[in-house]
Amino acid sequence: MKILIQSVRILDPNSPFHKKTRNVLINNGRIADIGEKNFSADKVIHAEGMLLTIGWFDVGTYAGDPGLEQKEDLESVALAAAAGGFTELAVLPNTVPAVQHKNDIKYLTRGNAQRLVQIHPMASVTRNNEGKELTEMIDLHTAGAVAFTDGLKTIWHTDIFLKALQYLQPFNGVLIDHPEDIWLNMFGQMHEGEQSTLLGLKGMPRLAEEVAIHRNLDLLKYAGGKLHISRLSSARSVALIRSVKEKLSVTCDVAAYQPLLDDTMLKTFDTNFKVNPPLREKRDNRVLIKGLQDGTIDVICSGHVPQDDESKMVEFDHAEPGMINLQTFGANLVDLSKHLEWPKLMEKVTSAPRNVLGLKSPQVDVNQEANLTLFNPSCTWKFDANSNLSKSKNSPWFGKQVTGKVEAVFNNGHYRIFG
């Protein structure tokens, strides 16, 4: 099957065609040719105004499989990911059971040979993600774990955190932490500030994140190793990481929605805006965007945390945190493109996350395997029950028109063309 992507702008710093508009011919899962002439093909995609990059990669996707498949399973998360432009996902270990044995790794990866969207397991640092006892990380690495994290839970135990940094060094493994002082955030429902006071909700102070990041950076300086800090939300968090970026092996990411939404959006007690870390204030958002611009924040992730109706359609203080954001991720990028140019923006969702995990990046070039995302930044569409491919619908954009649509994805000899 020959597919021609016609008149598309290529964005890939590792490609000789970076920032050039060309015709791209894909044949049986490989890039057969790139040029200005029209190639003969079985299918033609007219891609004027569209962007072609290497396949998007998400760090920290949550899928409930195994054990919590009512929220999301491997099949549904792969479908939603492909429609959202992702060809590879690094999935969190907060499942039942947690991803803590070699068989758990095999369960997640066993379908990869037949999948368009490749699943990369991140293994638990501690048993059952409880923070008390280390897992067999060397065995898990040998089995195929790409990183080690307690996922949606923080590694609260200082000695465990220190030992994890040390144990990962022989194989250059990366430790990923969701920074949170769980005691400062105890019973918290939203960002601690004027809005939480007006709404009468227990707040989650910036300090809970910042204290954890400060501790993590001190331990990294002491022990060495590689640390990735996930889902920043506060202005001072960015400043803390910026201050050590050139001295320590530390990287970080931000959920795509975090710089775009703020705590005033919780006035209606819409549980779809309840996330962890919480939506902060506009001044935090401005600093997060500055961190993206100057390179302090390396990666943009989806922040995809599906929750079923029973977890969201309840009183606000009983609702579980999280929103789905795989399919609306491109719309977030369109909003962020008002602050960052597309080449820099795309780097943070393609090569940068792979670099964090030590994975090789594909390339937009002739004779390379086609691991590609075709994105239309000007297409408007409605995210609703008809278009949603996730098992959950906990999104603030559900039922609304959004701008930015993935037109096609290619990977592993497979492809999906949307629209």
pLDDT per residue as tens digits for the range 92-115:
999 999 999 999 999 999 999 999
Helix (H, G, I), strand (E, B) or coil at 162: helix
Burial profile 350-387: b = 16 or more Cβ within 10 angstroms, e = fewer: bbbbbbbbeeebbbbebeeebbbbbbbbebebebeeee
Answer yes or no: do 290 and 240 share one domain: yes
Residue 366 main-chain phi, psi, to 5 deg: -65, 140
> What is the model's pLDDT at position 45?
97
| Mean predicted confidence (pLDDT) in 312-326 | 97
For β-strands 30-35 and 21-27, DSSP reports them as: antiparallel
Answer yes or no: do 255 and 396 share one domain: no
CA–centroid distance for 396 within its chain: 18
Residue 88 main-chain phi, psi, to 5 deg: -145, 140
**CA–CA distances in Å: residue 350 to residues 316, 336, 408:** 35, 16, 16
Distance separating alpha carbons of residues 109 and 127, to the nearest angstrom:
20
Answer yes or no: do 327 and 378 share one domain: no
What pLDDT, in 10s, does the model give residues 272-291? 999 999 999 999 999 999 99
Other Cβ atoms closer than 10 A to 323: 27
Distance separating alpha carbons of residues 223 and 102, to the nearest angstrom:
27
Looking at 329, 357, 385, the residue that finishes a domain is 357
Q: What is the residue range of 45's domain?
A: 2-51+365-417
Place of tokens 């602050």: 339
> What is the model's pLDDT at position 382?
98
pLDDT at 150 over 90: yes
Token pair in block for residue 151: 């996922």
Q: Count of H helices and E strands in the chain?
A: 12, 18
> What is the model's pLDDT at position 52?
98
| Mean predicted confidence (pLDDT) in 413-418 | 97
Quick check: 70 and 105 in contact, CB under 8 A?
Answer: no
Answer yes or no: do 34 and 64 share one domain: no
Distance separating alpha carbons of residues 97 and 136, to the nearest angstrom:
15
Quick check: 343 and 350 in contact, CB under 8 A?
Answer: no
What pLDDT, in 10s, does the model give residues 125-138? 999 999 999 999 99
Answer yes or no: do 219 and 342 share one domain: yes
pLDDT at 152 over 80: yes
Other Cβ atoms closer than 10 A to 231: 22
Answer yes or no: do 334 and 401 share one domain: no
> What is the model's pLDDT at position 332?
98
Average pLDDT, the chain: 98
pLDDT at 307 over 80: yes
What pLDDT, in 10s, does the model give residues 229-273? 999 999 999 999 999 999 999 999 999 999 999 999 999 999 999
**pLDDT category of residue 67 using cuts at 50, 70 and 90:** very high
Answer yes or no: do 409 and 307 share one domain: no
User: What are the residue ranges of helices labelled H in 152-251?
Assistant: 158-168, 194-199, 206-223, 235-244
Burial profile 126-159: b = 16 or more Cβ within 10 angstroms, e = fewer: bbbbebeebbebeebbebebbbbbbbbbbbbbee
DSSP 73: -
Looking at 357, 386, 408, the residue that finishes a domain is 357
pLDDT at 32 over 80: yes
> What is the model's pLDDT at position 416?
98
**pLDDT category of residue 351 using cuts at 50, 70 and 90:** very high
Answer yes or no: do 325 and 195 share one domain: yes
Looking at 305, 325, 357, the residue that finishes a domain is 357
> Half-sphere exposure (CA, 13 Å, Cβ side) for 183?
4
**CATH code for the domain in which residue 165 is found:** 3.20.20.140
Answer yes or no: do 396 and 297 share one domain: no
**CATH code for the domain in which residue 15 is found:** 2.30.40.10
> What is the model's pLDDT at position 11?
98
**pLDDT category of residue 312 using cuts at 50, 70 and 90:** very high
For β-strands 86-91 and 118-123, DSSP reports them as: parallel
Number of domains the chain is built from:
2
Q: What Rg value do the Cα atoms of the chain yield, rounded?
A: 21
Answer yes or no: do 381 and 312 share one domain: no
Distance separating alpha carbons of residues 266 and 246, to the nearest angstrom:
37
| Mean predicted confidence (pLDDT) in 338-361 | 98
- Contacts for 202 with CB less than 8 Å, ≥ 6 apart: 187, 188, 189, 196, 317
Residue 254 is which amino acid?
V
Answer yes or no: do 350 and 376 share one domain: no
Percentage of the chain modeled with pLDDT above 90:
100
pLDDT at 419 over 90: no
Answer yes or no: do 265 and 229 share one domain: yes
